[in-house]
Amino acid sequence: MHNKTKLLIFASLLLAACSTDPMQEIPNRGDSAPEIETSGKICNTSDDAVAGSLIVKFGEEAIPSLEQNALNAAKTRSALTRSGIESVDDILNDLHVTSLERVFPEAGEHEARTRAAGLHRWYVLGFASEEDLDKAAERLADVAEISKVQFRTRLYRASDCKTYPFQATANGQTRALVTADFNDPNLFWQWHYINNADQAVATTSVAGADINVADAWKLTAGNPEVIVAIVDEGVKYTHPDLAANMWINKAEQSGTTGVDDDGNGYVDDIYGWNTMRESGEIAPNSHGTHVAGTVGAVNNNGIGVCGVAGGTGKGDGVRLMSCQIFSGDLTGDALVSSRAVKYAADHGASILQCSWGIKAGIYTSDNMFIKQSPMDYEALQYFAAQKNCEALDGGLIIFSAGNESTAMSGYPAGYRDYISVTSFSPDYLPANYTNYGSGCNIAAPGGETSGLSGGEKAGVLSTLCSETSNGADYGYMQGTSMACPHVSGVAALGLSYALEKGKRYSLDEFKTMLLTSVNEIDSRLGEGSKA
C-alpha cells in the first residue's frame, strides 16, 4: 500500500521499527532448543504442565457418541466422565477420570462457526494429580478415536510484576496542563506518550522516545465501537480511571444474579469472563489493570493518567473487556488462555491484547508452534477470522515479545500473522530485559525501572489495583508487557479513525500500515551503553 493511502492517524503515531521484517517466521537455529520429540499424536511434553489434566482432540467420528453421553449426563444432572466409546472408556476408567468436558462450551448463536473451525472436538480430562502425565498421554494416544493429545503448558506474564506507587508532585501536576489538551494531572509523567527529554524521568531521556500520541489525539482519541480484549489478570473494573471505558454485557448488567440472562453459556459475565474460575467474577490485579490503563484509561476527566485510546472524557473511549487468565501467583495455561481467546472472539472484541506467552527459545519456528500448541493456535486463528469491527475484516492479535533478553521472540508472539512487541526505554534504547530480533515486529515504550537515573519514573505509568498494590491506584511497571498495550492502543486509535471516515481494511492492509508507520531505531543501537 502506498504511503499516500495510509490512514492519517498512523502518520501521527510513531512507534519504533525493529530490525526484522514484519511477520517473519523464526528459523530453526543451531543454538536454540531442538524440536521436541513426541510420540505420534502427542503434541508437546509434560515439562511445566498442569498436573491431573490433559487436553485431547477427538476425531469427528467420535463426536456423536460423546455428545449423546453428555446429553444423558445432563438429564441426570451428573458430570460427564465417559465418552460412550468402549476403547476410550477403558482408558478413562484406568485413569480414574473424574471429568470430561468440551474445552469450548456450546456457543449458542456462535455454535455453527465453532464447529466449522473444529473447536468442538477439543476436550479436557481431569484426574488425580498423582497420575503420571506422560503415561496417561501415551495410553490416550493409542486410541484411534483420539487425534491429538496436548499437555496444559503454563504461560507467563511478560513483566517482573513489580509495582512502584506513583507519588504526585506539584511540578508534574502543573506541567502536565501544557503537555496536551487533556487535563489529566499525571500525564506529564507518562513520558511514553509525550517525551520532552525531561531530566526528572531520566538524565538520559531523549525527546521523541514515545508514541507521539498528542498529534493523534487531535484526530481521534477512541471509539466505543472498538473493543479491546485484555487477556491477562483481571482488570479493576471499578477503578475511577477505567470504569467509564469498561466493556459491559448489557444483558447481564443488572448484577450478579446466578442466571445466564442472555443465554450465551456464561453466567453473570458483566465485564468479561474469568477462565481461571470459569466465572463472571473478575478478580482484579495490578498487571492486568496496568495494561488496561495504557490501552484505555479515561482521558480528560481531571484525574490520574491518560490511556492511548481513552477518549476525550465524553464517553468516547474504546471499550476494555476483561478476559482473566492469571490471578496473583496463579499461572495461566493453554486451556484457560484458549478459552479466553474464544470468549473475546464471540463477544465482539476486534483487538486481542496479550502481555504473556511461552518463553523465548521453547519454540523456534512457526511450525513448532502449530504442531506443539495446536489448540492454542486454532483458538487464535478463530479470533483472527471474526469480523467484529466494521473497519476491519478480522481480529488483530498483539503479543509481547518476552523478557528473556534473547535474540528471538517468544511464542505465540513470534507467529507470522501476529504482532510481536519489543520494549524501549526513555533513552530510546532497547530495555535491558527485552527480547529482540527474529520474530519481533515493532518496538514501543516498556520502561526500565532499574539501570536508568530516574529509577521507577523511567517505567511506564498507568493504573493499578489498589487492593493488590498497597493502596495505590497508579504506579509504574516495566516489561514488554507494558510495551504491548501501547501498540494495542495505537491500533485501537487507527480503527477508531477508520470508523469515523467510513474506511474498511483487510487484516494484512491494517497490519502493514501499523508496522510501517514507525520511526527507525536501529541507528541508535551503536550509540553506547546506558547510563
Under a CB-based contact definition with an 8 Å cutoff, are residues 290 and 463 in contact? yes
Under a CB-based contact definition with an 8 Å cutoff, are residues 435 and 403 in contact? yes
Quick one: pLDDT at residue 452?
85
Mean pLDDT value of segment 237-265: 88
Is pTM beyond 0.85 here? yes
| pLDDT 10s digits, 126-157 | 999 999 999 999 999 999 999 999 999 999 99
Mean pLDDT value of segment 41-61: 96
H-helix segments, 34-192:
63-75, 86-94, 111-116, 133-141, 170-176
Q: How far apart (Å, rounded) are the C-alpha atoms in residues 238 and 486?
A: 22
pLDDT band with cut points at 50, 70 and 90 for residue 31: very low
Nearest in space to 386 (alpha carbons), one of 419, 346, 416, 339? 346
Mean pLDDT value of segment 69-89: 94
In terms of pLDDT, which residue wins out, 170 or 151?
151
C-alpha grid cell, residue 110: 456462535
Mean pLDDT of the chain: 90
Mean pLDDT value of segment 31-41: 55
Amino acid code (one letter) for 11:
A
Under a CB-based contact definition with an 8 Å cutoff, are residues 294 and 423 in contact? no
Under a CB-based contact definition with an 8 Å cutoff, are residues 369 and 377 in contact? yes
SS3 content of the chain, % helix, strand, coil (to 5): 30, 20, 50
- Sign of the C-alpha dihedral computed for residues 479, 481, 484 and 486 taken in this order: negative
Quick one: pLDDT at residue 193?
97
| pLDDT 10s digits, 337-351 | 999 999 999 999 999
Mean pLDDT value of segment 351-362: 95
Mean pLDDT value of segment 478-499: 98
Quick one: pLDDT at residue 484?
98
| pLDDT 10s digits, 212-234 | 999 899 999 999 999 999 999 99
pLDDT band with cut points at 50, 70 and 90 for residue 180: low
Under a CB-based contact definition with an 8 Å cutoff, are residues 390 and 466 in contact? no
Quick one: pLDDT at residue 98?
96
% residues pLDDT > 70 (the chain): 89
pLDDT band with cut points at 50, 70 and 90 for residue 8: low
Strands 460-463 and 99-102: unpaired
pLDDT band with cut points at 50, 70 and 90 for residue 445: very high
pLDDT band with cut points at 50, 70 and 90 for residue 75: very high
Strands 99-102 and 122-126: antiparallel
Q: Locate cell 473451525: which residue?
A: 117
Instruction: With a cut of 50, say whether residue 26 has pLDDT above it.
Output: no
Helix or strand (DSSP H, E) at 496: helix 480-501
Quick one: pLDDT at residue 33?
44
Instruction: With a cut of 50, say whether residue 173 has pLDDT above it.
Output: no
Helix or strand (DSSP H, E) at 339: helix 334-346
Quick one: pLDDT at residue 199?
87
Quick one: pLDDT at residue 16?
63
Instruction: With a cut of 70, say whether residue 14 has pLDDT above it.
Output: no
Mean pLDDT value of segment 52-60: 97
Mean pLDDT value of segment 415-438: 96
Instruction: With a cut of 90, say whether residue 501 has pLDDT above it.
Output: yes
Helices and strands in the chain: count of H runs, count of E runs: 13, 18
Quick one: pLDDT at residue 450?
87
C-alpha count within 13 angstroms, C-beta hemisphere, residue 501:
17
In b/e form, how buried is each residue of 467-481, taking b as 16+ CB within 10 angstroms? ebbeebbbbbbbbbb
In terms of pLDDT, which residue wins out, 4 or 467?
467
Instruction: Flag the least confident range among 92-101, 180-189, 238-247, 403-412.
Output: 180-189
